[in-house]
Amino acid sequence: MLICNPYEIVIQGMTNNNKRFRPSDWAERLCGILSSFDQGHRLSYHQWVRPILIDNIRCVAVDRKLEEISSTAFNFLMDFARDNDLRILDCKALLEEREHKLIKLTDAVSQKNTEAAQTQLNTVHTEIETEPQPPVNQLRELTPAETGSAFAALHLLHPNIRDIVQFQDLVKIQQAEGYRLLGIFEEGKQNAVAICGFRIVTNFAAGRHLHIDDLTSIHLPMADDKISQIFTELKTIATHEHCSSIHADSSISSDSSNIHHLYLKNGFTLCSHKFSLKLD
C-alpha cells in the first residue's frame, strides 16, 4: 500500500542500477537533518519532509510546497538524491499506476534488466568490461551562492546545526568576519565530498597566518589524496596572502585521531594548548 500523497515527490532508496541504498536508516537520517524541536521540546520531522516505506523500500516523501517555502532545503534534498543516484519519483504517477493495475516499479525494473541481459546474450559481439575509473575530483573555493553544497559534509562535523537555512545564516555571519570555504567535488555531484573552512588572521602570537576552522569529509576517514589536495591549495593561498604559517584547531576527542594523524603526516606540529571556558 502506498502511503504518499499525490502532491509529494518521493526519493526512493533504490539506485538507478536497482541496488538498495545503504545505510538502512538513511531516510530517517536525511529527514533528521531538516527536523526541529516542537513546542513540547520534542524533536519532530519537518512539516513537508518525512520518511515512508513503499513496497518495503525506504523512501523520503517531499511535499512540493517545500520548494516554494525553502528552495534551499528543497534543492539540498534533490541534490542528495542525484548525487547518490537515487530515483526521484512522482507519487501521483505511482498512484495512477496502481489504479490501472500496472506492473510495480520494482518489477518493471527487474523485467527491464532481464530483457537487457537476454539481449546481451543474443549479441554476436561481446563488449570487453573495463574497470570503473575513480571519480574525478575538483577542488575550488566556494562562492557565497554555493555554501549550501558544504552543508552535508559540515553537518557531520557540527551535528548541532540541523537546519540548512540556519547553516547558511551562520556561514554568512562568519564570511563577514573573513571565513572562506574550500570544497572538493566529485564529477557529476552537486554537494562537496570534502570541506575546509578557513580564514586569514593576524595576531601578536603568530603574526599574519592562515587559520583552519573546519576540515571534514562525508567519507570518513578522510582520504589521504583529498587532504593532500586541500593542504596544497591552502599553502598556495597562504603564500599569496603573505602568511607566515598555517594553524589549525582540532578536537581532543578520540574520534579526531584520524585528522590528528593527517595533520602530523603533512608537516604540522603540535605547538600549543587551547583553553576554553563555557559561560552560563
pLDDT digits (tens, 9 = 90+) for 139-174: 999 998 889 899 988 988 888 886 788 888 999 999
Report yes or no on 33 lying in a domain. Answer: yes
Dist. CA 231–CA 66, nearest whole Å: 38
What percent of the chain clears pLDDT 90, i.e. is strictly above it?
34
Would residue 187 count as lying in a domain? Answer: yes
Quickly tell me which residue has 601578536 as its cell. Answer: 204
Residues 6+ apart with CB under 8 A from 170: 161
Name the average pLDDT for the chain. 82
pLDDT of residue 38: 53
Q: CA-CA distance, 140 to 162, in Å (whole number)?
A: 25
Cα-Cα-Cα-Cα torsion 228, 229, 230, 236, nearest 10 degrees, comes to 100
Question: 93 with 144, same domain?
Answer: no
Asked, for residue 274, whether it belongs to a domain, the answer is no
CA–CA distances in Å: residue 98 to residues 33, 92, 181: 32, 10, 47
Residue 227 lies in a domain: yes
Q: What CATH code is carried by the domain that includes residue 86?
A: 3.30.70.2340
pLDDT at 18: 87
Regarding whether 95 and 151 lie in a shared domain, the answer is no
pLDDT band at 259 (very low <50, low <70, confident <90, very high): confident
If DSSP codes are grouped into helix, strand and coil, which group holds residue 115? helix
Higher pLDDT, 218 or 206: 206
Domain tally, the chain: 2
DSSP 266: T
Residue found under cell 603540535: 270
The answer to whether 18 and 110 are in contact (CB under 8 A) is yes
End-to-end CA distance of the chain: 51
Is the confidence at residue 254, as pLDDT, over 50? yes
* pLDDT for the residue numbered 102: 46
- Does residue 115 have a pLDDT over 70? no
What SS3 class is residue 74? helix
Domain that holds residue 41: 8-99
